[in-house]
């Protein structure tokens, strides 16, 4: 293993993050506060408890997921797209680094940043509602594995994209709808049966459900199902990346 | 026997567009030599370097770095190579120090601030070490790229068009730097479309055009062919044989005895031209016309490239 190499990429990416830390943190924190004002206080006060959880508290896990999903994808896709765009990727490709090592460096950094922001959002939420986390270990597990999985997805998008528009396209057209319809703001059981069935095809439902379970022990699907689904999704992303590197797709032509 | 620094066998590269950028390239570069790859724009120089450095995939053929296959043993192979690419691609917001240290890390080497300091000082970048790269001039950026390539102590250094967009001053100092590296045993491969640069720097010269290597020659051999001048004497009347007093001049009789050609080294003071003309006069050989001709690397280049 080229540990120095992995660490170099990781530190480089974290350095980039730190240079823009203000804006990286400001925007999710501000939107979290807005969500709390709109959904938590204004609308939430007219909504009853869901599964015995106050609405304001109910949306916390979903809000965190919403933020870390988009952060993971944005960080990782930009991280690998940018050197492709500027041409500095030549150095990564000419270095004695395996594909696994390159991925660990970029995805590790993107996931780290997303986790940090997830924790910041959680802390922010703590100012609005009393936090209770029944299963902190599971909570950490879901947070980390979600950040890693979606950073892998972002990495794939960053390799696939051949323009800045495409970099934005997938998050905008696919990820945002999926997260909004993934049960951040409602319980799936509140939907009509047809839409409940449709929701089962949305991978984000399983993430939010499992994550919310770690907070309040209430969930839309069983814990085992959530864990299985996220692992399936993780494996899928790893599979695609393995294929990318094997074929040199968009990296080594 | 030491293995060649680089050995390329039957290398072919066809881009996805169908363009054959490299066509059956065979090339051995010895350890410690400076090899200049000369060719017009679009000849395939960058493609060849990219293939050797692992930046693009090859379609066919074998590449070995000091005897190590460049894909099967890519860690060893790539670890030996430093690359200064043609384009000035840098991380604009990084500092000089960080970007050079980053490169060293990528190649798996532990930190060595003293060594980085030495490189930066050698390249006159030391006082800019904490400057962001975007604030540097083009010439300095080029030197940063060289520093990055040298940061992991490579045995082989590729310089892709190092003189492009560089002023004379910097070019001269870069050449000095390159020679110093060679003196320390580094193998250097540079591409250029400036013939002057190849003449100045290289031990051996390869000429590439349309993806084909059309000539590989020691520079000395090449220059021997090139450095000479020919004195062409069109004679008034036919000569059947060269008179004995003129035997020492190694004259060539042609055009049915109506032309004498004398090859000499114009750089020598006593190159024999004056004496020859005296001797001719003494021998009663009259000239109708006199002409001199010098072939240059440029001539050879143009002829070769024109033919292929
Ligand atoms: N990525 C690419 N895809 C398709 N064709 C390319 C690519 N890169 C270079 N070429 C083509 O390959 C040929 C050789 O290019 P290059 O190696 O850059 O030449 P040089 O460095 O000698 O100027 C050119 O015709 C160029 O247009
Ligand atoms: Mg080129």
Separation in Å, CA B183 to CA A27, A241, B34, B254: 55, 44, 10, 46
Domain ranges for chain A, please list them: 3-247
Q: Do A96 and B91 touch (CB under 8 A)?
A: no
Distance in Å, alpha carbon of A111 to nearest chain B alpha carbon: 20
Q: Is residue B94 pLDDT above 90, yes or no?
A: yes
Using pLDDT thresholds of 50, 70 and 90, give the confidence band for residue B24: very high
Using pLDDT thresholds of 50, 70 and 90, give the confidence band for residue A4: very high
B6-224 and B228-307 in the same fold: no
Rounded distance, CA B34 to CA B200, Å? 11
Strand partners, B231: B262, B292
Whole-number pLDDT of residue B104: 98
- DSSP code, position A201: T
For domain B228-307, the CATH class is alpha beta
Whole-number pLDDT of residue A179: 85
Whole-number pLDDT of residue B296: 65
Q: Is residue B295 pLDDT above 70, yes or no?
A: no
Q: Whose CA is nearest to atom 4 of ligand 1?
A: B15
CB B44 less than 6 A from any atom of ligand 1: yes
Q: By the 8 A CB rule, do B73 and B124 touch?
A: no
Distance in Å, alpha carbon of B184 to nearest chain A alpha carbon: 23
What does DSSP say about strands B34-38 and B212-218: parallel, antiparallel, or unpaired?
unpaired
Domain ranges for chain B, please list them: 6-224, 228-307
pLDDT for A120-179, tens place per residue?
999 999 998 888 899 999 999 999 999 999 999 999 999 999 999 999 888 888 888 888
pLDDT for B45-68, tens place per residue?
999 999 999 999 999 999 999 999
> Which residue from B15, B75, B89 is facing A87, i.e. has the nearest CB?
B89
| Average pLDDT of every residue of chain B | 90
Report the atom number in ligand 1 closest to the C-alpha of B44: 17
Whole-number pLDDT of residue B228: 73
* Token couple for A193: 């049966």
- Give pTM, 2 decimals: 0.86
Name the 3-class secondary structure at A136. helix
Q: Is residue B306 pLDDT above 80, yes or no?
A: no
Quick check: ipTM above 0.85? Answer: yes
What does DSSP say about strands B204-209 and B212-218: parallel, antiparallel, or unpaired?
antiparallel
pLDDT for B234-258, tens place per residue?
998 888 888 887 888 888 888 888 8
CB-based burial, B286-307: b 16+ in 10 Å, e otherwise:
eeeeeeeeeeebeebbeeebee
Rounded distance, CA B151 to CA B109, Å? 9
Terminal CA-CA length for chain B: 35
Contacts of B223 (CB under 8 A, 6+ apart): B199, B297
The count of other CB atoms within 10 Å of the CB of residue A203 is 15
% of chain A with per-residue pLDDT over 70: 100
Please calculate the CA angle B68-B71-B74 and round it to the nearest 5 degrees.
Answer: 65
Q: Is residue B299 pLDDT above 80, yes or no?
A: no
Contacts of B176 (CB under 8 A, 6+ apart): none
% of chain A with per-residue pLDDT over 90: 59
Lowest model confidence (mean pLDDT) among A35-39, A41-45, B4-8: A41-45
Whole-number pLDDT of residue B297: 67
**Virtual torsion, Cα B152, B158, B161, B163, nearest 10 deg:** 60
Using pLDDT thresholds of 50, 70 and 90, give the confidence band for residue B226: low
CB B43 less than 6 A from any atom of ligand 1: yes
> Which residue from A15, A90, A253 is facing B89, i.e. has the nearest CB?
A90
CB B67 less than 6 A from any atom of ligand 1: no
The count of other CB atoms within 10 Å of the CB of residue B215 is 17
CATH number (3.40.50.300, 3.90.1150.10, 3.30.470.20, 3.30.1540.10) of B6-224 reads: 3.40.50.300
């Amino acid at each position: 293993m080229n540990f120095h190499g992995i660490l170099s990429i990781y530190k480089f990416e974290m350095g980039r993050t730190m240079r823009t830390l203000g804006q990286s943190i400001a925007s999710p924190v501000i939107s979290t506060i807005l969500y709390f004002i709109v959904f938590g206080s204004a609308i939430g006060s007219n909504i009853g408890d869901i599964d015995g959880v106050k609405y304001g508290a109910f949306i916390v896990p979903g809000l965190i997921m919403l933020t870390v999903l988009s952060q993971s994808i944005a960080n990782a896709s930009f991280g690998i797209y940018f050197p492709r765009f500027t041409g500095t990727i030549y150095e990564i490709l000419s270095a004695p680094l395996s594909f696994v090592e390159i991925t660990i460096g970029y995805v590790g950094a993107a996931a780290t940043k997303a986790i940090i922001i997830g924790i910041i959002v959680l802390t922010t939420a703590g100012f609005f509602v009393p936090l209770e986390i029944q299963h902190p270990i599971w909570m950490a597990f879901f947070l980390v594995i979600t950040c890693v999985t979606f950073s892998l997805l972002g990495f794939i998008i960053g390799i696939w994209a051949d323009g800045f528009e495409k970099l934005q396209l997938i998050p905008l057209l696919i990820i945002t709808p999926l997260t909004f319809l993934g049960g951040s703001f409602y319980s799936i059981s509140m939907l009509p049966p047809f839409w409940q069935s449709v929701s089962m095809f949305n991978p984000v439902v399983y993430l939010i459900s499992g994550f919310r379970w770690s907070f309040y022990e209430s969930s839309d699907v069983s814990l085992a199902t959530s864990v299985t689904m996220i692992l399936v999704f993780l494996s899928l992303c790893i599979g695609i990346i393995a294929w990318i590197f094997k074929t040199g797709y968009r990296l080594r032509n | 026997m030491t293995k060649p620094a680089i050995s390329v066998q039957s290398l072919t590269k066809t881009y996805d567009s169908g363009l054959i950028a490299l066509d059956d390239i065979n090339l051995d570069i010895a350890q410690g030599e400076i090899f200049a790859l000369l060719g017009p724009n679009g000849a395939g120089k960058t493609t060849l370097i990219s293939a050797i450095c692992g930046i693009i995939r090859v379609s066919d053929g074998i590449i070995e770095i000091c005897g190590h296959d460049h894909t099967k043993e890519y860690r060893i192979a790539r670890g030996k190579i430093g690359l200064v690419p043609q384009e000035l691609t840098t991380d604009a917001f990084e500092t000089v120090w960080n970007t050079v240290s980053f490169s060293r890390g990528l190649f798996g080497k532990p930190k060595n601030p003293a060594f980085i300091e030495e490189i930066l000082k050698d390249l006159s970048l030391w006082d800019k070490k904490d400057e962001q790269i975007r604030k540097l001039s083009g010439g300095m950026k080029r030197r940063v790229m060289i520093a990055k390539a040298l940061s992991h102590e490579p045995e082989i250094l590729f310089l892709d068009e190092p003189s492009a967009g560089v002023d004379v001053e910097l070019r001269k100092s870069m050449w000095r730097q390159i020679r110093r590296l060679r003196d320390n045993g580094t193998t250097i491969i540079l591409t250029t479309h400036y013939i002057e640069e190849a003449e100045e720097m290289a031990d051996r010269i390869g000429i590439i055009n349309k993806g084909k290597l059309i000539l590989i020659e020691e520079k000395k051999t090449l220059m021997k062919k090139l450095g000479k001048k020919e004195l062409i004497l069109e004679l008034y009347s036919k000569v059947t044989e060269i008179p004995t007093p003129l035997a020492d001049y190694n004259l060539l009789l042609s055009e049915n005895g109506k032309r004498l050609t004398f090859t000499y080294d114009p750089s020598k003071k006593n190159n024999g031209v004056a004496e020859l003309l005296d001797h001719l006069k003494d021998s009663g050989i009259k000239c109708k016309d006199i002409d001199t001709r010098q072939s240059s690397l440029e001539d050879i280049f143009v002829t070769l490239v024109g033919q292929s």
